[in-house]
Amino acid sequence: MKEPRKSDLYERCVAAWAMEEFDYVDITVTANARIRGIISERSRQIDVLLENRFGANPMARVIVEAKLHGRPVDIEVIEATEAKLRDVNASAAVIVSSGGFTKSAIRRSADFVGLRLLEYDWLVDEYEGAYSHCLSNSDCGNESLLWSVNKVDEAGSGWLMYKYGKCVRCQTFHVLCQDCGCEFPVSDGQTMSCDCGDREWGAIPESEASGHEGSAESTWLMLKFWDDFYGLQRKPIGKVTSQAIP
Per-domain boundaries in the chain: 6-131, 145-236
What is residue 211's predicted lDDT score, i.e. its pLDDT? 60
What is residue 67's predicted lDDT score, i.e. its pLDDT? 95
Helix (H, G, I), strand (E, B) or coil at 68: coil
- Digitized pLDDT (tens) for each residue of the chain, 246 residues in all: 456 689 988 998 999 998 888 876 577 888 888 888 999 999 899 999 888 776 666 667 899 999 998 899 999 999 999 999 999 999 899 999 999 999 999 999 987 899 999 999 999 999 988 899 999 988 887 788 998 888 888 877 788 899 999 898 888 999 999 999 999 999 998 999 999 998 999 998 876 555 656 666 678 899 999 888 888 888 866 443 333 232
What is residue 3's predicted lDDT score, i.e. its pLDDT? 62
What is residue 233's predicted lDDT score, i.e. its pLDDT? 83
Query: How many other C-beta atoms lie within 10 A of the C-beta of residue 107?
Result: 11
Helix (H, G, I), strand (E, B) or coil at 53: coil
Helix (H), strand (E) at residue 140: none
How far apart, in whole angstroms, are the C-alpha atoms of residue 51 and residue 57?
Answer: 7
Among 26, 101, 98, 105, residue whose Cα is nearest residue 62: 26
Cβ-in-10-Å burial (0-12, 13-18, 19+) of 74 comes to: middle
Helix (H, G, I), strand (E, B) or coil at 156: coil
What is residue 134's predicted lDDT score, i.e. its pLDDT? 94
Q: Under CATH, what is the fold of the domain 6-131?
A: Trna Endonuclease; Chain: A, domain 1 (3.40.1350)
What is residue 73's predicted lDDT score, i.e. its pLDDT? 95
How far apart, in whole angstroms, are the C-alpha atoms of residue 163 and residue 35?
Answer: 25
